Structure 1
Amino acid sequence: MYTHKRINNFTSNSSDPTSTTRTQTSLFSNMYLLTMLQAFVTITLVMLLKKLITKQNNKKLSLPPGPTGWPIIGMILAMLKSRPVFLWLHSIMKQLNTEIACVKLGNTHVITVTCPKIAREIYKQQDALFASRPMTYAQNVLSNGYKTCVITPFGEQFKKMKKVVMTELLCPSRHRSLHQKRAEENDHLTAWVYNMVKNSGSVDFRFVTRHYCGNAIKKLMFGTRTFSENTAPDGGPTAEDIEHMKAMFEGLEFTFAFCISDYLPMLTGLDLNGHEKIIRDSSAIMDKYHDPIIDARIKMWRDGKRTQIEDFLDIFISIKDEEGNPLLTADEIKPTIKELVMAVPDNPSNAVEWAMAEMVNKPEILLKAVEEIDKVVGKERLVQESDIPKLNYLKAILRETFRLHPIAAFNIPHVALSDATVAGYHIPKGSQVLLSRYELGRNPKVWADPLSFKPERHFNECSEVTLTENDLRFISFSTGKRGCAAPALGTALITMMFARLLQGFTWKLPENETRVELVESSHDMFLSKPLVMVGELRLPEHLYPTVK
């Protein structure tokens, strides 16, 4: 009892405050160290656990199936021996019986996809992760160092140019305001074909459809359909326009043509497969015709001699930033215009040529298409853009053509901005993803009797057939952040071209020919031989416009 009291008295009545403070400080210090130690151990365990889980997940997630290839160069040697490359890539997928594959070219993983479900997973569910483009020699040349919209990798420049294109050039109000220029080119097409039919009867559909599309985009872009001072009296293209068109298609063909230096950059400049020179020459020819017009127009706006917007070029030049200064430089305007001019002719012209070839072999489809035009429009006026919503069978034919005869084997590559998981496979950052236009449209899991040309398959419960395909069962104008920027313009051009050719003329094959050989070229998706047919007038002559 005494002892206990003494201790309590000693504890409570201690007269040494310094000792008490030291004791308390020591206790707090020990508690702080213990807490820090516990936190450190906890964080360390969490990190080790996360690393272990990640390591286990990485083991579970493998690359899509595909050939292993050699160190450093991957499957480059096989690619060089296997031209065209798109046939080689498709053959690999068939051998492996897979709808997603991975082929390593240099240090780049090239992911090919033939399944609409996987395509939607990439282009819809993970669209933002695959919103970039590869960096290639051709793109660098054509885009003036990646200053454009369509083929420029994801970044601030891409976002700037896409905003300009989408909000200023291709918005609905601008599409409506430029209707008259498109109408002029529709009449010019009818007048030009009328002259050919009257003079010789023979018409090269590839030549006509390509130049109609070229004329239309030149009229929208520059306000003129020709680069020549002297126009052809029958309405056909001049030598300058033909040279320009040839350069455009060569540029398109070799922009994403599996150039060896794009996968092994140390070979850039050696031009081992000749792609680099073709791109430089094609770009230079287009610049030869575009740049003088652009430079002169910029000067006119600067000097106040032009103040009204009449075409796309005027829009590019007149756009201002927040401080009232020109938003775009000439170095941005020139390659962007070149890119947009190149983007128009190939898809519509290819589709109309193939559609006509298919219909000549199936006269019942041709007859039904013409009957629809006669029912909707009649024979007392020419078909106009306002008739497009009612021409559902024509659009079903075009949809079927996009499905069965795409313009290219693959779409423009998308690049993964970070590691991703697709269909249970690991897709590394920087991988190039290619959707197979060819196999998407012929996938037997999606399409019954996929190799047959059946426009009726595209009719559904909707009252109007459209050319866009958002479910990626085939590709018409693509979709997503890097999809086609102008489906309305594309729909107007291709449908009007198709309708005017069917309404104004009756078509048959030349003498001694009974069928068109529906075979693709050995190196691309075009018809192996240009479609040539003989036309006859089917409307009163006073309805046909004259060349202006």
Structure 2
Amino acid sequence: MFIFDILLVLIFIFLVRWNRRLGHLSPLLPPGPKPLPFIGSLIAMLNHKPTFRWIHGMMDEMKTKILCIRIGNVHVITMSDPKIARELLKEKDEIFTSRPDCMSGYLTSDGYLNTSLVPMSDHWKNMRRIIATQIVSVSGHKWLQNKRDQEADNLLRYIYNRCVTNVAVTGGVVNVRVITQQYTSNIARKIMFGSSFFGTGSADGSLGKEEIEHVDSFFTILGYTYAFCVTDFFPWLRWVTDFDGHEKIIRNAIRTARKYQDPLIDERIQQWKDGVKTKEDDLLDVFINLENPRLSVDIIKAQILDLMIATFDNTWNAIEWAIAEMINKQTILEKAMSELDALVGKDRLVQESDLIHLNYIKACVKEALRLHPMAPFTLPRVASRDTTLGGYFIPKDSQVIVSRLGLGRNPEVWDDPLTFNPNRHMNGNNEVVLTDHNLHMLSFSAGRRGCPGVVLGSTMAVMLLARLVQGFTWEFPPNESHVDLKENLQNLCKAKPLLALAKPRLPQHLYPTS
């Protein structure tokens, strides 16, 4: 018996040492706050809003480019190192192709019927192929150019009318946030439904109450999708209460957006059934007539909402910030105007065919996307198996997000990272593109879950800035000498909408007036 007890003790000591050896050899989780039993870092997350600033604050405090936060049983991994981001989005993209199952994703996608928010599935594979080949293809982009051109003209018309008094063309104070949101949302509606407005719009050509409500619903949906909702990490709570109120807010926003969109979709489907409609004029027509597979009405509605939000997302915010930065640094604005004057001239309006040559304009857009991203993180990806990133252990089912802020403002990558400097993107005579192959910044995402609408998004953003800079000078409003560049605490938008004095700089006959 005594020998047996000694043998058990020796086996125990051997196992302890072996486990320690394995633990020493195995990679550890990334650094992060010490989690509490069961709930993890939930209390800290709730006590530090907004969550994205708390996360970035911890990364700075702990001096780490990869952070692990456990909330409930879920490990949330955040990174701001381009090398680790490349490992995630390029080398190990296949492992991280899925999305988390969460309340906001489920509701926004109408039960995972869209593309961007759907966990890994055959439906996602089919829709990804359809979107890439039928909806945002190169041929489709050319087909819809006339609709984008119309909105570029409408933009000039609206601003020009703000500059006209009863006796002369002088200048007018313009809310740049309003005009950029108007441009992007009008294009989204135009290419999707064939019309800029749900109603009649306002008398001056700006958004009507219906469109304003529609845009506001998008902004709310964007703000609450994957917004660290408590019930996403403790799903059983959804049966008890809407713990932090997120579900009510996002349900109301989705209901508002679909209140305007769904009746148009139902009406159009009926028109095709009745033979009233026989020619495809916009993307809704394309969706309705898709074959192999033919889409259900519910899938069409979910896809339309998905694409509308994606089209609206980045452009308006980047260009508002770009104009704000350029007004504060008139030398940058003057250089942009000089490029347009030299390559396009002042006797015609800049067109999409000119954009390939406008490297400095594109550099200004890219710099705005670097310094002022719309969202602090990429949409989360889920690890399909245990793996490693940056030498750290990443458990299966971890949610991994890349910090757009951390990449774009990384002082180890960018000189003077908080300064708006488009010259950093100029590379001799090589064409400037808004994407970054090295992932030193993320204007759009990458990999299998990357944004399929890169061409559309890039075209809209560059065209918007080109028309604004070619068509008008931009100055401080009367009695002001500086643009306040503070960020909103709750998001990355400019804290106050940009008001600027616009003055026409082209011959009067070039401005659309009808």
Same fold (TM over 0.5): yes
Q: Name 2:275's counterpart in structure 1.
A: 304
Amino acid at match of 1:381: R
Asked if 2 retains the 8 angstrom alpha-carbon contact of 1:141 and 1:280, the reply is yes
The superposition leaves residues 376-411 of structure 1 with CA deviations (integer Å, 9 ceiling, x where unpaired) of 111111000000011100111111111111111111
Equivalent position of 1:142 in the other structure = 108
For residue 90 of structure 1, report the CA deviation from its aligned partner. Answer: 0.9
Aligned residue in 1 for 2:140: 174
1:406 aligns with: 373
Gap regions ≥5 residues in structure 2: 1-17, 166-170
2:219 maps to: 249
- Per-residue deviation at 1:63? 0.7
2:79 to 105, 110, 113: 113
CA contact (8 A) 1:210 1:346 kept: no
Aligned partner of 2:180 in structure 1 is 209
Task: Give every structure 1 segment of 4 or more consecutive aligned residues whose post-TM-superposition deviation is greater than 4 Å.
Answer: 52-55
State the partner residue of 1:290: 261
Letter in 2 for 1:472: L
1:159 aligned to 2:129?
no
Q: Structure 2: which amino acid aligns with 1:474?
A: M
Letter in 2 for 1:372: E
Q: Deviations over 1:31-57 (max 9, x none)?
A: xxxxxxxxxxxxxxxxxxxxx899937
Alignment of 1:188-203 (within 5 A): 188-198=154-164, 201-203=172-174
Change (3 A) 1:277 1:502: same
Please say if 1:365 is aligned against 2:335.
Answer: no
Contact conserved, 1:470 with 1:479, CA < 8 A, in 2?
A: no
Q: Deviations over 1:514-540 (max 9, x none)?
A: 111211111110111110011111111
Residue 348 of structure 1: which of 305, 309, 315 is its match?
A: 315
Sequence identity, in percent? 45
Q: Distance in 2 between matches of 1:222 and 1:490?
A: 18
Alignment deviations for residues 316-344 of structure 1 (CA, whole Å, 9 cap, x no partner): 110112xxxx6100110101100110112
2:264 aligned counterpart, secondary structure: helix
Give unmatched runs, 5+ long, in structure 1: 1-51
Secondary structure at the residue paired with 1:226?
coil
> How far does residue 463 in structure 1 lie from its aligned partner after superposition?
2.1
* Superimposed CA distance per residue, residues 198-217 of structure 1 (whole angstroms, 9 cap, x where no aligned partner): 25711111111011100001
Query: Could you say if the C-alpha distance between residues 368 and 81 of structure 1 is closer, same or farther in structure 2, counting changes exceeding 3 Å?
Result: same
Deviation at 1:511, TM superposition (A): 1.6
Is the contact between residue 143 and residue 151 of structure 1 (CA under 8 Å) also seen in structure 2? yes
Match of 1:40 in 2: none
Q: TM-score, normalised by structure 1?
A: 0.87
Matched, 1:490 2:490: no
> Which range moves more in the overlay, 210-219 or 232-241?
232-241
Q: 1:183 aligns with which of 149, 168, 186?
A: 149
Q: Which residue of 2 aligns with 1:235?
A: 205
Determine the structure 2 residue equivalent to 1:313: 284
Q: Give the 3 Å change call, closer, same or farther, for CA 300–488 of structure 1 in structure 2.
A: same
Confirm whether residue 125 of structure 1 aligns to residue 91 of structure 2.
Answer: yes
Relative to structure 1, the CA distance from residue 419 to residue 461 in structure 2 (aligned partners, 3 Å threshold; closer, same or farther) is: farther
Alignment partner of 1:396: what SS?
A: helix
> In the aligned structure 1, how far is the partner of 2:489 from the partner of 2:164?
34
Distance 2:137 2:437 in 1: 19
SS for the counterpart of 1:158 is helix
- CA distance, structure 2, for counterparts of residue 206 and residue 361 of structure 1: 17
- Of the three residues 223, 230, 246, the one matched with 2:194 is 223
| 1:526 paired to 2:497 | no
In our comparison, the structure showing a higher alpha carbon Rg is 1
Q: Are the aligned partners of 2:201 and 2:209 in contact in 1 as well (CA < 8 Å)? A: no
Give aligned pairs, total: 491
CA RMSD of aligned residues (A): 1.6
SS at 2:174's partner residue? strand
- SS of equivalent residue, structure 1 residue 235: coil
Q: Equivalent residue of 2:465, what SS?
A: helix
Name the counterpart of 2:3: none
Kept in 2, the 8 Å contact 1:298–1:317? The answer is yes
Question: Residues 179-211 of structure 1, C-alpha deviation per residue, up to 9 Å, x if partnerless?
Answer: 111111111111111112225711111111011
CA distance in structure 2 between the partners assigned to 1:524 and 1:233 by the alignment:
32
Aligned residue runs from structure 1 range 383-532, under 5 A: 383-461=350-428, 463-532=430-499
Matching residue within 42, 48, 53 for 1:76 = 42
SS in 2 for 1:130: coil
* 8 A Cα contact 2:193 2:283, kept in partner: yes
Partner of 1:263: 233
